[in-house]
């Protein structure tokens, strides 16, 4: 059973003093038969009291306020977690019976939320390109695996061209993005097929071959597959999520699982830096890994300014190169 040491730093730096910062953090790993949290140390600027509760999806959520004037906010999480292997996937029930079972789930809680589609005007184009009409000839597991591979093969992994505000239509136009974009596209395909699917945030742990998404928070999806339950699928790495994936939270989309979000009173200007390190060695934690803070892409300032929107900036660059 792999044992991991995970260090996650989030730092906000403001252009001037701010106050009354109210924040929500989703930095507490899921605890179940596949994950054991041996230790977690959480340090936050100002040493506020963190109230922890469970949300609708069963995630542990922390909330805190920092009332005093401050020019930066540092959230430092250190976790030691053990992951356990999952059982082999089953796919023995005839396909028709499995699809009929999924049809019965469409109006049942909690599956309703995981079948609702996000706004996406290019949906028909995506479905045609992914040969959506062929999926019902397969079992749900086969269809989910094939759609995972489609996303991996048809979207380029490029850091910095999208932000958390980038829409599905913008990701489709780019045919590129990072793990959260790959996850959102796969969610669309699975839900349209009739397979309940949920977004998963967490960390991916290094292996000898390297994995996309190391050194940052990672995202993948879980699909509800008959005879198996929730099955993790990682379209960024074209693999089934296993004991190298550490889960923080599940939800309908990124917005339900954002590691840190909040509000404050004061200047609008701010910069965000995030650092994540994950280490293990032969089942033993390697304590020597350094966590390096990396500036994150700015999000929209509300008026669509190209200077603040990574997607629009990237599209302008592409247009200039084509002239």
State how far the alpha carbon of 241 is from the alpha carbons of 67, 70, 255, 306, in Å: 40, 40, 21, 36
Average pLDDT over residues 155-159: 94
| Residue 105 Rama label (left phi>0; alpha psi -120 to 50; beta) | alpha
Instruction: Count CB atoms within 10 A of the CB of residue 268.
Output: 11
pLDDT of residue 213: 63
How far, in Å, CA of 140 to CA of 191, rounded? Answer: 11
**Range of lowest pLDDT (102-106, 170-174, 277-281):** 277-281
Give the per-residue SS3 of the chain. Answer: CCEEEEEEEEEEEEEEEEEEEEEEECCCCCCECCEEEEEEEEEECCCCCCEEEECCCCCEEEEEEECCCEEEEEEEEEEEEEECCCCCCCCCCCHHHHHHHHHHCCCCCCCHHHCCCCCCCCHHHHHHHCCHHHHHHCCHHHHHHHHHHHHHHHCEECCCCCCCCCCHHHHHHHCEECHHHHHHHHHHHHHHHCCCEEEEEEEECCCCCCCCCCCCCEEEEEEEECCCEEEEEECCCCEECCCCEEEEEEECCHHHHCCEEEEEEECCCEEEEEEEEEECECCECCCCCCCCCEECCCCCCCCCCHHHCHHHHHHHHHHHHHC
Residue 165 has pLDDT above 50, yes or no: yes
Q: By the 8 A CB rule, do 231 and 242 touch?
A: no
What pLDDT sits at residue 105?
A: 93
Q: Is the pLDDT of residue 13 over 90?
A: yes
Q: Which residue has the higher pLDDT, 287 or 226?
A: 226
Give the pLDDT mean for 108-133.
93
> pLDDT at position 307, please?
43
pLDDT bracket for residue 309 (50, 70, 90) = low
Out of 98-102, 139-143, 215-219, 230-234, pick the least confident: 215-219
Euclidean distance between the first and the last CA atom of the chain, given in angstroms as a whole number: 54
Contact present, 120 and 169 (Cβ < 8 Å): yes
- Average pLDDT of the residues in 79-98: 95
- pLDDT tens digits, one per residue of 14-32: 999 999 999 999 999 999 9
Query: Whole-number mean pLDDT of the chain?
Result: 88
pLDDT in the model for residue 7:
94
Percent of the chain with pLDDT over 70: 86
The residue-averaged pLDDT of 149-159 equals 96
Do 18 and 264 form a contact (C-beta atoms < 8 A)?
yes
What gap in Å lies between CA 253 and CA 286, rounded to an integer? 32
pLDDT of 250-306, one tens digit each?
A: 999 999 999 999 999 987 788 999 999 988 755 555 555 668 888 887 654 444 444
Position 306 scores a pLDDT of 41
For residue 33, report the phi and psi dihedrals to the nearest 5 degrees. -70, -10
> Residue 252: CB partners within 8 Å, gap ≥ 6?
113, 114, 116, 198, 199
């Amino acid at each position: 059973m792999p044992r991991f040491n995970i260090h996650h730093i989030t730092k906000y730096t403001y252009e001037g003093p701010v106050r009354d910062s109210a924040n929500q953090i989703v930095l507490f790993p899921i605890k179940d038969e596949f994950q054991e949290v041996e230790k977690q140390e959480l340090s936050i600027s100002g040493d506020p009291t963190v109230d922890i509760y469970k949300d609708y999806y069963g995630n542990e959520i922390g909330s805190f306020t920092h009332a005093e004037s401050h020019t930066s906010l540092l959230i430092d999480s250190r976790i030691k977690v053990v992951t356990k292997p999952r059982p082999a996937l089953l796919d023995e029930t005839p396909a028709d019976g499995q699809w009929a079972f999924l049809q019965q789930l469409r109006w049942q809680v909690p599956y309703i939320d995981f079948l609702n589609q996000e706004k996406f005007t290019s949906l028909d184009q995506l479905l045609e390109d992914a040969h959506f009409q062929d999926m019902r000839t397969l079992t749900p597991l086969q269809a989910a695996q094939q759609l995972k591979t489609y996303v991996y093969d048809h979207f380029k992994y490029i850091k910095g061209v999208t932000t958390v505000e980038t829409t599905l239509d913008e990701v489709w136009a780019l045919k590129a993005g990072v793990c959260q974009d790959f996850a959102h596209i796969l969610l669309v395909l699975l839900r349209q097929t009739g397979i309940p699917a949920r977004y998963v945030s967490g960390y991916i742990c290094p292996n000898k071959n390297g994995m996309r998404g190391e050194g940052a928070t990672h995202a993948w999806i879980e699909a509800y597959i008959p005879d198996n339950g929730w099955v993790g699928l990682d379209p960024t790495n074209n693999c089934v999520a296993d004991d190298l994936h550490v889960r923080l939270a599940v939800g309908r989309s990124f917005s339900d699982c954002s590691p840190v979000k909040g509000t404050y009173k004061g200047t609008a200007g701010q910069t965000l830096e995030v650092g994540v390190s994950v280490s293990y060695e032969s089942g033993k934690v390697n304590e020597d890994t350094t966590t390096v803070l990396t500036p994150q892409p700015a999000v929209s300032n509300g008026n669509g300014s190209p200077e603040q929107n990574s997607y629009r900036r990237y599209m302008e660059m592409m247009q200039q190169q084509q002239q």
